[in-house]
Amino acid sequence: MTEAKNRLMLIDGHSMAFRAFFALPAENFSTSGGQATNAVYGFLSMLSTLLNDEQPTHIAVAFDVGRTTFRSEMFPDYKAQRAATPEEFKGQVPLIKEVLETLGITTLEKENYEADDIIATLATAAQPLGFETLIVTGDRDSFQLVNDTTTVLYPMKGVSVLHRFTPEAVQEKYGLAPNQYPDFAALRGDPSDNLPSVPKVGEKTATKWIVQYGNLENLLNNAEEIKGVVGQNLRERIEQVRMNRTLTEMVRDLALPYSPDQLELKSADVNAVAEKFDALEFGVNLRERVLAAVKADANGVVKQATDSRPEIVVSLDSLDAWLGARRDTLDNGIAIYLTGTPTPAGGDAQAIALIDADYQATTAYFADLTPDEERALIDYLESDAPKFMHEAKAAYHMLQGRGITLNGIAHDTAIAAYLLRPGQRTYELKDVYQRHLQRQLSTEETGQLSLLDAATSHELVNAAAAIRELSEELTSQLQAIDSFELYRDLEIPLVTVLAQMENAGIAIDVDTLEDQLETFKAQVAAEEEAARALAGDETLLLTSPKQLQVVLFDTLGLPKTKKTKTGYSTAAKEIEALAVNHPHPFLDHLLAHREYQKMKTTLEGLIKAVQPDGRIHTTFNQTVASTGRLSSTDPNLQNIPVRTPAGRKIRSAFVVGEGYDQLLTADYSQIEMRVMAHLSQDAGLIEAYKLGEDLHNYVGSKVFDVPVDEVTPELRRRVKAMSYGLVYGLSAFGLSQQLSIAPGEAKHIMENYFERFGGVKRYLDEVVNQARQDGYTQTLFGRRRYLPELASTNRVARENAERAALNAPIQGTAADIIKVAMLRVDRELKKAKVKSRVLLQVHDELVVEIAPGELEHVRAIVEKEMDSAITLRVPLEISAGAGKNWDEAAH
């Protein structure tokens, strides 16, 4: 092919979408509302690779309309054997079409015909126009279209490995010319299309006959010449073979709205692409790969950063002079962008850009500051003058590394963007700028040269300008949804509190962790050895799914689990269910091995995370969980078990640091159930909390109709699972699975619960209906979670969104309450001028490091402020304890 020649790519949309669906696990690709997206992700990933590798000038994607076509009318059994479309796949093809539209790629479908027929028509029409044609499909019937200018790209492994079927490749594979393939397929039959074969006629016989007679019609006209049983079988099925041949032949003359020369690859609408990728919650990497592949032309499609703002002028004045000239206008706010290392207790700031309301800017390297510049900058950064930033907590750590304590954070555009669209995979500045202003960060030169090298100056200044613009725009958007107070009064002040906690870290007794690590290593080895003995295989690795499949389902003959593309599932959920329903010592060892391995991995991560100061400095994330909960990373301190002996031993390694006396822990008792009682206004739940009853015993007595003192631990366990399960949309079947009881019994428990606590049932129904009507849920503090999947035609996505709608207001309100408590506790500790400080927030618990002589004073402050965080229809209950380590401080 020469560069000047047109190259047409035709993609069988359903074929590739299905392959993508089965190549990627659905559970790993879904929106926060529950819409599966694995087929969309895999399809787009494959598309970007195809476009990069093949460089087509023209492209179209053909889709099937439904299962009813002229072929199924001729032969009702055509494809009738195919299983129902997986629930997770439903709804993904329309999403693929929507994305393709934003990419400027034409999609085609035609009632009563298949995608194959559209492709055949376009490939046939392209040949006399001088096109080279590439057909991407997993349907072998397409081999009939192969010729000197048409190649089929056939997926051999998922959607990543493609085999090129040219005329020579078809001949080599089947011993036939491409135009003979439909004759061959008619004889061989096709299980994928439910076309019957001729008994005892395999591929070799079918090829031999077609070669011998030239084509199928000649063979059938001379069927009497074929000897033996195979000849008799052929003669008995001539009409079926002719039907097979008719069904296999592709239609090549459909009336279509486009001819091949009208399928030129158009410019992508970058803003629409970004919006669609955000809705699907895909990361920036895939979006950039796809946009690069379609050669998106930003000119005229993307708004440039300079479209609506004043020209940026970078000052050549010294930094102290620039700040001094704005002494009277600093209250208008300065947008700041920093580069450097944002590690807690180990950060460093390298370069900075500042830009005022008139887009007058300055930039500097910290290493090049004069003493006067450094003094002026430190005074400004530590002042209360309002500062507009993006990911301000990271900036805090960069500056802290240079001994500068950042104050005056007035805007954090990453957090504002999160509140507006929780659930996005990224809140990087360039993505937020694209998402909310439909602009790309400009690489254009600014008005004047700066003191930095040009490339760094442009990057810093344009980023600072983007922050300035976003601060204004996102404020308006937050005000429009009544969430600005949540942003200003809760999330922004929390940035500094979290930064201080991360910077302080928590002291670790490494010897305790290492001792426990050795114990778990030994337990992992012991469980594997015991499992190997039962399996009779000294080479068995319990971490190998393939080896486990052999042992579980062949050697031990246990009932098979859910079928996957690599065999039968050995996932935790499946093995746990197997162990309950079909107990076996091997399963006990396997589950114990997995638990010990998990603890071993946790310990190794914790030991690695200890910094030179002997403390762990975790990072608390404000923009990860859709519900508003904080998450913890590097390391994750929220996944340490609370109630197991192993978890308590790990917590005992978190100790009080030098210069401090004890750790104080304080948490809310049953905060989510108390929020449920408040929101549902259920009289029974409210009465239980007001009377100070043990909630689960109280509810158990009502549900099982026994006195409170006769609620057994088993009844209490059941009702506790029920109460918390309702918050997460638990069904009667789910409850039966969780409690290992019959579905009928679980249904009876649930009915009794709702009969006695009708307010809960009413609330659960109303919250989903209201969310479906509004498109979002809301916490008591106004935090929204958008759930467009509530209107989805995909049952799985819709039910997942319904569960999220039940959970979000309750879990989100609980998250907001602990955040308010943190702010109040921090404020009062500072007012009291004590040395004690908050170190951790884990779920509903605060961990405070207590200075000598301050325990009772600080305990009183913590309990009072946590209790005052919100007023509900039921009282809050705070439990607190103190000790030399985190476990001792438990209560």
Closest among 740, 609, 789 to 95, alpha carbons compared = 789
Q: Which residues pair with 666 in a beta bridge?
A: 846, 880
Q: At what angle do helices 795-831 and 855-867 cross, to 10 degrees?
A: 140
Q: At what angle do helices 795-831 and 758-774 cross, to 10 degrees?
A: 100
727 and 665 in one domain?
A: no
Please give the structure tokens belonging to residue 481. 């949804």
How does residue 78 score in pLDDT terms, banded at 50, 70 and 90?
A: low
| Average pLDDT across the chain, whole number | 88
How does residue 200 score in pLDDT terms, banded at 50, 70 and 90?
A: confident
For residue 841, give the 3-state DSSP assignment.
Answer: strand
Amino acid at 136: V
Q: With a cut of 50, say whether residue 22 has pLDDT above it.
A: yes
666 and 813 in one domain?
A: yes
C-alpha distances out from residue 535 to 525, 540, 558, Å: 15, 8, 12
Cβ neighbours, 10 Å, residue 641: 16
351 and 457 in one domain?
A: yes
140 and 54 in one domain?
A: yes
755 found inside a domain: yes
Mean predicted confidence (pLDDT) in 29-51: 89
3-state helix, strand, coil in the chain (%, to 5): 55, 15, 35
CA atoms within 13 A on the CB side of 408: 19
- pLDDT tens-digit map of 254-302: 999 999 999 998 888 888 888 899 888 887 788 888 988 887 654 334 4
Burial of 408-421, coded b for 16+ CB within 10 Å and e otherwise, reads bbbbbbbbbbbbbb
For residue 30, give the 3-state DSSP assignment.
Answer: strand
Closest among 423, 434, 499 to 469, alpha carbons compared = 434
Give dist(CA 260, CA 59) in Å, integer: 8
593 found inside a domain: no
Give dist(CA 182, CA 189) in Å, integer: 10
890 and 767 in one domain?
A: no
436 and 312 in one domain?
A: yes
Give dist(CA 166, CA 123) in Å, integer: 14
Q: Which residues pair with 615 in a beta bridge?
A: 507
Which of 197-211, 443-457, 727-741 shows the lowest mean pLDDT across its residues?
443-457
Cβ neighbours, 10 Å, residue 304: 14
Residues 6+ apart with CB under 8 A from 808: 626, 627, 777, 779, 785, 787
Give the model's pLDDT for residue 307.
Answer: 52
607 found inside a domain: no
Give the model's pLDDT for residue 530.
Answer: 95
Among the candidates 487, 505, 523, a domain finishes at 505
Amino acid at 698: Y
Among the candidates 195, 229, 262, a domain finishes at 262
693 and 659 in one domain?
A: no
Contact criterion met (CB below 8 Å) for 682 and 755: no
- pLDDT tens-digit map of 421-464: 998 888 999 889 988 888 877 644 444 444 455 556 788 999 99
Q: Give ∠ CA 621-889-660 in degrees, rounded to 5.
A: 80
Domain CATH for 320: 3.30.420.10
Give the model's pLDDT for residue 174.
Answer: 85
30 and 106 in one domain?
A: yes
Chain-centre distance for alpha carbon 337: 28
Give the model's pLDDT for residue 452.
Answer: 55
461 and 410 in one domain?
A: yes
737 and 848 in one domain?
A: no
The bridge status of strand 7-12 relative to strand 58-62 is parallel
Domain CATH for 104: 3.40.50.1010
- pLDDT tens-digit map of 385-402: 999 999 999 999 999 999
- 488 secondary structure, DSSP code: I
Among the candidates 466, 481, 505, a domain finishes at 505
Give dist(CA 836, CA 852) in Å, integer: 9
Domain CATH for 755: 1.10.150.20
Mean predicted confidence (pLDDT) in 859-887: 96
Please give the structure tokens belonging to residue 392. 């301000």
Q: Give ∠ CA 858-860-863 in degrees, rounded to 5.
A: 105
Give dist(CA 488, CA 472) in Å, integer: 13
191 found inside a domain: no
For residue 314, give the 3-state DSSP assignment.
Answer: strand
395 found inside a domain: yes
- The single residue listed with the structure tokens 């690069």 is 292
Q: At what angle do helices 510-535 and 585-609 cross, to 10 degrees?
A: 150
Contact criterion met (CB below 8 Å) for 237 and 196: yes
314 found inside a domain: yes
Give dist(CA 677, CA 693) in Å, integer: 14
How does residue 2 score in pLDDT terms, banded at 50, 70 and 90?
A: very low
830 and 702 in one domain?
A: no
13 and 140 in one domain?
A: yes
Domain CATH for 835: 3.30.70.370
Please give the structure tokens belonging to residue 288. 């950039």
Give the model's pLDDT for residue 224.
Answer: 73
Residues 6+ apart with CB under 8 A from 95: 35, 37, 40, 280
606 found inside a domain: no
Q: With a cut of 90, say whether residue 208 has pLDDT above it.
A: no
Enclosing domain of residue 425: 303-505
Give the count of domains, the chain. Answer: 4
701 found inside a domain: yes
Q: What is the end-to-end Cα distance of the chain in Å, rounded?
A: 75
